[in-house]
Structure 1
Amino acid sequence: MTGIRVALAQPAISADARVNGKTVRSLMRKAAAGRARLVHFPEGALSGYAKEQIADWSQVDWGVVRGELERVMALAAELRLWVVLGSAHPLTPPHRPHNSLYVISDAGELVDRYDKRFCSNTEINHFYSPGFDPVVFDVDGYRFGCAICVEINFPQLFSQYERLGVECLLLSAYPVDSIFELKARAYAAINCYWVSMSLPAQTVDLMPSGLITPTGTYAAQLSGNSGLAITTLDRDDPALTVPFQHARPWRATAMKGEIYRTRAVDDPRSRDHTML
């Protein structure tokens, strides 16, 4: 088999990290049973998400969150499974936490952490400290990148990941409107990469979680209020020849601009925009 099997989760998120940790580990086991190499979780899946489950950080027992994270890491090593897990990441008081995605390797190691760069107005003023850097990592020869929720409104982040060679963008979110889904599909098609969209069960009325192909169509969607979808990313799939072998290289060439500059014309009918 070519390609890599990935799983995307749609769990119900609670304010209790113990409950969330148990749910995460249950879904990890299902992902491993389905031969997935990576499982992707929503924003705030472990700690709970501010504005929804969390009204104030004083409600959060960070020791419990850390303990649950360590259990997830240990299980990742046991299952030989990569895990991308949404959670608040505490900083030194009085600094607010980051809104993060933990990248855990199949050796159970925390190899990186993506901190949400573009927080919403409420998030930045009341709940979170911002991050500033993209995160990319490779699994079995496939390159992944990370983004979180409201960052869907900042196209430069998605084009940056295309330039960094990402083949699958892991988009964890807690969406508040249905237009979110259309934006995700557009970015997948424009940048010619997969978008894995992992959302909580609480937002299924807006859209289900799903894996969007480089053509902007779905390879898999979840049904119901919770669960897991497993599918294969295969860059050699003949159906993806156009986006991967033609569109993406051509757009990279076009963005450099030289192919247009060398064909500039010196013609009064070009310079004069009022000429009939």
Structure 2
Amino acid sequence: MRIALSQLTTGPDPESNLGLLREEARRAADGGARAVVFPEASMACFGTPLAPVAEPLDGPWAEEVRRIAKDTGLVVVAGMFTPAPDGKVANTLLATGPGVEASYDKIHLYDAFGYAESDSVAPGSEVVTIDVDGVRIGLATCYDVRFPELFRAHADAGAVVSLLLASWGAGPGKREQWELLTRARALDATLWLAAVGQADPAASATAAAGAAGASNAPTGIGHSAVIGPDGTVRQSLGAAPGMLLADLDPEEVAAVRRAVPVLANRRLAGRG
């Protein structure tokens, strides 16, 4: 199955960001992709007040993403914000397209490195997978990558691919952590990991105006990558915007799981 990872820089205006998604989806379709995956916060970059831009899954922003999917014939996965109780939002992934309609609310909130996502975002609680052409795919968002149990839950649900949509925070050692964690999660669950992040705004000609006002907001570092089920990096990008087209072979997952059956060999520690 061929998928496209679109590493872009979104700004604070949801309508303008839809134009980016539309352009990139056409590019992915021209490249023969079956699905195109956009980063976390594709609707509006972090550093933007989120409650005013949040919309329900049947709102106009999501409906336009569905139109993009219909016009291109692709499954589209993109990060948006939906209303949640107490004036907060959910950090939501919308997956839509031929035979697919699902959403995932980010479970693990980024309360780290001086940033408190939970101040404005409510956590999700459900593990979500989708099926594209008979291939089961798990959905995850950014800080989720630090929690291996989620990716093993994808595998337990039959997934052979996990999609990780991110807007990774910059800082000393953060790129190295991103690269280590994405490889580790692929190896933990012996599945393909397709990790797409926001490009580094400093490396983008369409830098996210307005995000600079919140200096610790996670606005992206780039370095999207496709990791094989054996933990090896198969394709990757640098800091600037770009697109990866990757062919993922589900049979390779089966072969790796036969050779290194870590899922089958798991044992739970007993309680005293």
State which drifts further: 6-15 or 223-232. Answer: 223-232
Q: TM-score, normalised by structure 2?
A: 0.81
Establish whether residue 37 from structure 1 lines up as the match of residue 34 from structure 2.
Answer: yes
Is 2:199–2:222's contact at 8 Å kept on the other side of the alignment?
Answer: no
Change (3 A) 1:241 1:155: closer
Q: 1:231 aligns with which of 234, 246, 270?
A: 246
Q: What secondary structure, in the 3-state scheme, does the structure 2 residue paired with 1:255 have? A: coil
* RMSD of aligned residue pairs (Cα, Å): 2.3
Contact 2:54 2:80 in 1 (8 A): no
Q: 2: distance between equivalents of 1:61 and 1:5?
A: 31
Match 2:258 to one of 227, 245, 254: 245
Task: Report Cα offsets for 1:75-133 as digits up to 9, x if no partner.
Answer: 211221101110111236x43110010010226x6x11100111123111x11111100
Structure 1 regions of 5+ residues with no counterpart? 258-276
Alignment of 1:173-188 (within 5 A): 173-176=166-169, 177-178=174-175, 179-188=177-186
Secondary structure in 2 matching 1:32? helix
- Whole-Å Cα distance in 2 between the matches of residues 153 and 24 of structure 1? 27
- Higher Cα Rg, which structure: 1
| Cα distance in 1 for residues equivalent to 2:107 and 2:223 | 24
2:43 alignment partner, SS class: coil
Partner of 1:79: 72
Residue of structure 2 aligned with 1:104, choices 85, 92, 96: 96
Instruction: Name the counterpart of 1:266.
Output: none
Give secondary structure in 2 for the equivalent of 1:152: helix
1:146-193 deviation digits (Å, cap 9, x = unpaired): 111111222211221121121111101111222122111011122110
* Runs of 4+ residues over 6 Å off in structure 1: none
Seen in structure 2, the aligned counterparts of structure 1 residues 189 and 134 have a Cα distance that, compared at 3 Å, is same
In structure 2, do the counterparts of structure 1 residues 56 and 235 end up closer, same or farther at CA, with 3 Å as the change threshold? closer
Residue 10 (structure 2) pairs with residue 13 (structure 1): yes
Task: Work out whether 1:202 is the aligned partner of 2:200.
Answer: yes
Gaps of 5+ in 2: 204-219
Q: 1:254 to 1:105 in 2, by over 3 A?
A: same
CA–CA distance in 2 between the matches of 1:252 and 1:223? Answer: 32
1:263 aligned residue: none
**Partner letter of residue 155 of structure 1?**
P
1:63-74 correspondence runs (5 A): 66-74=59-67
Equivalenced residue count is: 241
Please give the TM-score of this superposition, normalised by the length of structure 1.
0.80
The structure-2 alpha-carbon separation of the partners of 1:155 and 1:139, relative to structure 1 and needing over 3 Å to count, comes to same
CA distance in 2, matches of 1:149, 1:219: 20
Query: Which amino acid in the other structure matches residue 200 of structure 2?
Result: Q
Normalized per residue, which structure has more helix? 1
Q: Is the 8 A contact 2:35 2:74 kept in 1?
A: yes
Match of 1:136 among 106, 125, 129: 129
Residues 56 and 161 (structure 1 numbering): CA distance in 2 closer, same or farther, change over 3 Å? Answer: closer
The 3 A distance-change label for structure 1 pair 241 and 164 is closer
